[in-house]
A and B are shown apart, each in its own frame.
Chain A
């Protein structure tokens, strides 16, 4: 089954404790992206990757890091989480090109205390 998976689905942590949210897709997609969803703000892009070893900032990259060492994986790293990073996070992937459908993971709900 074609899918984007994220782990963990739920996470409670404390300020400053490094964490990683994993994302994996099995569709051989070149393009992958991370979003955060906050009430009233919709989806805002954090980082995206056009291919292996190619990443770039989205609209709200502060406080986040990513890496793309393999085509299928695109982890999101919060090296020193803060309460304002409490949010719902989505990973997405698609074929290269704007015509293509973007496939979303199920989301990771993060609470930073």
Chain B
């Protein structure tokens, strides 16, 4: 079955520290990969996406993610976080097919402390 696993439900970090949010997906021939962010009391917005080409993808707010096909991973990173990065982050995968649906992970709550 198609699935997306976010390995950490909560990640606390101090301001200006680096962070990595992990995402693994069940293997498939080809996938499209997304990271969405949800700030408190808001809807989700796109951070970045991988469709093809370079495996390192840069997104908004200084985030980047690396697609690793052999490990079926798409981890999100930021070298130095800010208080304003406190939010919930969702990894999502499009596996293709006629339904065209995204499969979401359960989310990782990033809490940045001063």
Which residues from chain A sit less than 8 Å from chain B, CB to CB?
4, 31, 33, 35, 40-45, 48, 50, 56, 58, 90, 92, 96-99, 101-102, 104-107
Contact (Cβ within 8 A) A106 B42: yes
Question: Which of A40, A43, A99 lies in contact with B90, CB distance below 8 A?
Answer: A43
Which residues of chain B come closer than 8 Å to A33, judged between CB atoms? 101
Which residues from chain B sit less than 8 Å from chain A, CB to CB?
6, 9, 32, 34, 36, 41-46, 49, 51, 90, 92, 94, 96, 99-102, 104-107
Known: A42-B107, A98-B94, A99-B51. A56 touches B99 (CB 8 A): yes
Which residues of chain A come closer than 8 Å to B49, judged between CB atoms? 99, 101
Contact (Cβ within 8 A) A90 B104: no
Contact (Cβ within 8 A) A42 B43: no
Residue of A nearest to B46 (CB): A101
CB distance from B2 to the nearest CB of A (A): 11
Contact (Cβ within 8 A) B43 A102: no
Which residues of chain B come closer than 8 Å to A31, judged between CB atoms? 100
Contact (Cβ within 8 A) B104 A58: no
Which residues of chain B come closer than 8 Å to A101, judged between CB atoms? 34, 46, 49
Known: A98-B32, A107-B42. A43 touches B100 (CB 8 A): no
Complexed CA–CA distance, A79 and B48 (Å)? 37
Contact (Cβ within 8 A) A107 B101: no
Nearest 8 interchain pairs by C-beta: A98-B94, A42-B106, A104-B43, A43-B104, A104-B44, A106-B43, A101-B46, A42-B107
